[in-house]
């Protein structure tokens, strides 16, 4: 399947460069958002077990396949292995649960959601006696070996990483028989990820940019936090092209060659976010946007500092 606007992965598969994100989408609104997105032209849906809405994504996908709007092979579905399932004996059953929720017999892309494992066999956010997150001692390189078996057995077409830093990717590459195809990371003008992106490209790993609009609905946002979509410099560039700030932020990632997964459940915004292929940002504007970088991470997970595999604590990128 060759998608209209896509990136070729290192295993030969094509991944649509623009997808619908589903993190934090309100329960009860996801199935309709997926149906709207498919009608609008999206062919890539980004999901994860921890979002607790994969069954709704499955409803939306199933409805559009039954209507004949798309075939299964027309769609690219990404999901992610949650932190409590890193232990090798849990990986397959976690993937099978996602397949059941999505009503699919294979996933196009399956990522290790974070390099950090959490305590298994309980809650999705396990806590110790002090009320702190309970960590697992499992090493993600052992998890990766089990991810490879999902490909070999046909449950998954492509496997990759999410929120892994350079050193962590190198450790996976050192033991991998299947090279990661993708690293999904927070990426926007305040956190351009230039060094990590360059490293991934040197290893033929495609980058997916999450929170490309600055994660305005993140639950931990505080009054006074910068709002990327209201940044006067971004607003000025958007006005110059008669586009929305969201369209400029999405286009910025596309021109960098990054896959991008803006989230919305609003049909008009879903359509607007897809309307980014008919124009180009100038080189000067791309460079200007690059210059907004301030290592401004919105999803920092500082409460998990101390985990031996925390990706943002001790490494430059």
Distance, CA of 257 to CA of 23 (rounded, Å): 22
Annotated catalytic residue 51: yes
DSSP 63: H
Catalytic residue among 51, 110, 190, 210: 51
In Å, how far are 118, 219, 231, 238 from 314, measured between CA atoms? 19, 25, 30, 36
* Residue pointed to by tokens 């595999």: 309
**49 assigned to a ligand binding site:** no
Q: Which long-range contacts (CB under 8 A, 24 or more apart) does 147-151 make?
A: 147/81, 147/91, 147/110, 147/112, 147/178, 148/176, 148/177, 148/178, 149/91, 149/92, 150/91, 150/92, 150/95, 150/110, 151/178
* Binding site residue list for substrate: 113
Catalytic residues: 51
Annotated binding site: 113
């Amino acid at each position: 399947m060759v998608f209209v606007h896509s990136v070729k992965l290192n295993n030969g598969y094509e991944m649509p460069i623009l997808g619908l994100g589903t993190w934090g989408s309100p329960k009860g609104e996801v199935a309709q958002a997926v149906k709207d997105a498919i009608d609008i032209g999206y062919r890539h849906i980004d999901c994860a077990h921890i979002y607790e809405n994969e069954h709704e994504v499955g409803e939306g996908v199933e409805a559009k396949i039954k209507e004949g709007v798309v075939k299964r092979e027309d769609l690219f579905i990404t999901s992610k292995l949650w932190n409590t399932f890193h232990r090798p004996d849990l990986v397959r059953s976690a993937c099978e649960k996602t397949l059941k929720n999505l009503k699919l017999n294979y996933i196009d892309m399956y990522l290790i959601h974070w390099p950090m494992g959490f305590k298994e066999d309980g809650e999705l956010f396990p806590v110790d006696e002090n009320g702190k997150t309970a960590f697992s001692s499992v090493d993600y390189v052992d998890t990766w070996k089990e991810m490879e078996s999902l490909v070999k057995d046909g449950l998954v077409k492509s496997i990759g990483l999410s929120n892994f830093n350079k050193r962590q990717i190198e450790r996976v590459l050192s033991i991998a028989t299947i090279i990661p195809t993708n690293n999904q990371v927070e990426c926007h003008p305040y956190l351009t990820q230039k060094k990590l992106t360059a490293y991934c490209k040197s290893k033929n790993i495609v980058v997916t940019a999450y929170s490309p609009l600055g994660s305005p609905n993140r639950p931990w946002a505080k009054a006074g936090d910068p709002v990327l979509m209201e940044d006067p410099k971004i607003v000025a560039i958007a006005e110059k092209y008669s586009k929305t700030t969201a369209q400029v932020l999405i286009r910025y990632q596309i021109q960098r060659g990054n896959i991008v997964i803006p989230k919305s459940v609003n049909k008009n915004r879903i359509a607007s976010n897809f309307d980014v292929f008919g124009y180009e940002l100038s080189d000067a504007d791309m460079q200007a946007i690059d210059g907004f970088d301030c290592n401004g991470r919105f999803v920092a997970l500082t409460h998990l500092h101390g985990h031996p595999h925390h990706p943002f604590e001790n490494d430059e990128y």
